[in-house]
C-alpha cells in the first residue's frame, strides 16, 4: 500500500482542451449563487431479472468480444447495442464524459463493452459530475430495449469529471431504485468535486453501498494520485472498494483507453455477472507491468 498525502489540489483543467481553470460544483440541493438545484432522478419501472446465459463462457477479456453491435441514438442518449441471441438480457453500462468531451471521444471503450455483450450507453453532455444523467440514460435504454436491457444489473463508468460522475451514478441509482438491484462503479482518473459535481460529494460517496473501482494514471498531471486517493477514502470503510494505478497513463493525450478496456470488462463481468474467471483476471492485473495496486478494502473472493 502506498503512503500518500491526504490533501487535494483544487487546481484543475478544462479537460477537453487542457486549459487550467478553477471551478467548483454546486451543492446538491443549493439554488443560491446562480447554481441550479440538483434534479431528482425519476425511477423507471422495476424490470424482472434477465437471463444472461449467452454471456457465459467468455474468457478472453483483453480483446474485442464475440458480439457484433449496432449504434442508436434516443434523444441525448447514445447506445451501442450488442447482437446477442434472442431471449438473452444483458447488463447496462453507462459512461459519463469528461469535462468538455463527448461520447465519441470514448467510442473505443463503448464499442469494447458492446462487443462483450453489455448494452453500452452514454448521455451526450459535457458536464456529468452530478450523476443524474446516468439514471435518465438507463431509463431510456430499458424503455428502448425492454427485451434486451437487464435493468437489474447496472454498471457506471466515466473519465475525469465523468469518473466522479460514475461514482455519483452509483449513488443516484441506489437512491432511486434501492439496493435490491446490482450496481458497480468504475471510475477512470476521477476528478471528484470538479465542474458540475456536487460540492458535498464526499458525504454522498460515504453513503454508497455497492462496489467501486477507480484508478489514477502515474503520468497524470491534471488529476493527481492524492485527488483519486481522496475519492477512495471518502467511500465508506465497509464498502468493497479497489484502487489501482495505471502505469504510464496520462490524462488526455492519449486517453487511458487501453487501461479502461483492460479493467472494465473484468470488473463488470465479476460484479454484474458473478464471473469468477473475470474476478481472477481483474485481481491479476497488478501482476503485470501496467498496473500497481494502491489500496483496497473488503474485497470479496472469486467464487
pLDDT in tens, the chain (303 residues): 444 433 333 333 333 333 333 222 333 333 233 333 445 555 554 554 456 789 999 999 999 999 999 999 999 999 999 999 999 999 999 999 999 999 999 999 999 999 999 999 999 999 999 999 999 999 999 999 999 999 999 999 999 999 999 999 999 999 999 999 999 999 999 999 999 999 999 999 999 999 999 999 999 999 999 999 999 999 999 999 999 999 999 998 777 788 999 999 999 999 999 999 999 999 999 999 999 999 999 999 998
Other CB atoms within 10 Å distance of the CB of residue 276: 13
pTM across the whole model: 0.86
The residue ranges of every structural domain in the chain are 57-297
Residue 11, classified by CB atoms within 10 Å of its CB into exposed (0-12), middle (13-18) or buried (19+), is exposed
Nearest to 283 by CA among 61, 117, 119, 53: 61
Axis crossing angle, helix 276-284 with helix 257-273, rounded to the nearest 10 = 140
Tell which CATH architecture fits domain 57-297: 3-Layer(aba) Sandwich (3.40)
Residue 194 CA to residue 173 CA, distance in Å, equals 20
Amino acid at each position: 500500500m502506498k503512503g500518500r498525502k491526504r490533501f487535494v489540489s483544487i487546481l484543475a483543467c478544462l479537460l477537453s482542451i487542457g486549459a487550467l481553470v478553477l471551478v467548483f460544483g454546486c451543492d446538491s440541493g443549493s439554488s443560491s449563487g446562480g447554481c441550479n438545484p440538483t434534479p431528482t432522478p425519476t425511477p423507471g419501472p422495476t424490470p424482472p431479472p434477465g437471463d444472461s446465459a449467452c454471456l457465459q463462457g467468455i474468457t478472453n477479456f483483453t480483446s474485442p468480444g464475440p458480439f457484433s453491435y449496432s449504434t442508436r441514438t434516443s434523444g441525448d442518449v447514445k447506445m451501442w447495442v450488442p447482437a446477442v441471441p434472442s431471449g438473452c438480457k444483458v447488463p447496462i453500462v453507462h459512461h459519463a464524459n469528461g469535462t468538455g468531451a463527448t461520447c465519441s471521444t470514448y467510442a473505443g471503450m463503448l464499442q469494447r463493452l458492446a462487443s462483450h455483450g453489455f448494452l453500452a450507453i452514454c448521455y451526450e453532455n459535457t458536464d456529468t459530475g452530478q450523476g443524474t444523467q446516468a439514471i435518465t440514460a438507463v431509463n431510456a435504454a430499458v424503455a428502448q430495449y425492454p427485451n434486451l436491457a437487464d435493468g437489474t444489473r447496472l454498471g457506471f463508468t466515466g473519465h475525469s469529471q465523468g469518473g466522479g460522475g460514475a461514482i455519483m451514478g452509483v449513488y443516484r441509482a441506489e437512491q432511486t431504485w434501492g439496493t435490491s438491484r446490482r450496481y458497480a462503479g468504475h471510475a477512470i482518473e476521477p476528478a471528484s468535486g470538479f465542474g458540475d459535481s456536487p460540492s458535498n460529494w464526499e458525504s454522498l460517496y460515504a453513503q454508497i453501498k455497492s462496489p467501486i473501482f477507480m484508478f489514477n494514471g502515474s503520468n497524470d498531471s491534471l488529476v493527481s494520485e492524492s485527488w483519486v486517493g481522496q475519492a477512495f477514502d471518502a467511500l465508506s470503510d465497509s464498502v468493497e472498494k479497489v484502487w489501482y494505478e495505471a502505469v504510464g497513463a496520462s490524462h488526455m493525450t492519449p486517453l487511458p483507453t487501453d487501461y479502461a478496456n483492460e479493467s472494465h470488462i473484468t470488473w463488470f463481468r465479476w460484479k454484474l455477472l458473478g464471473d469468477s474467471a473475470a474476478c481472477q483476471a481483474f485481481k491479476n492485473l497488478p501482476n503485470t507491468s501496467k498496473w500497481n495496486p494502491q489500496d483496497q478494502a473488503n474485497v470479496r473472493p472469486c467464487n
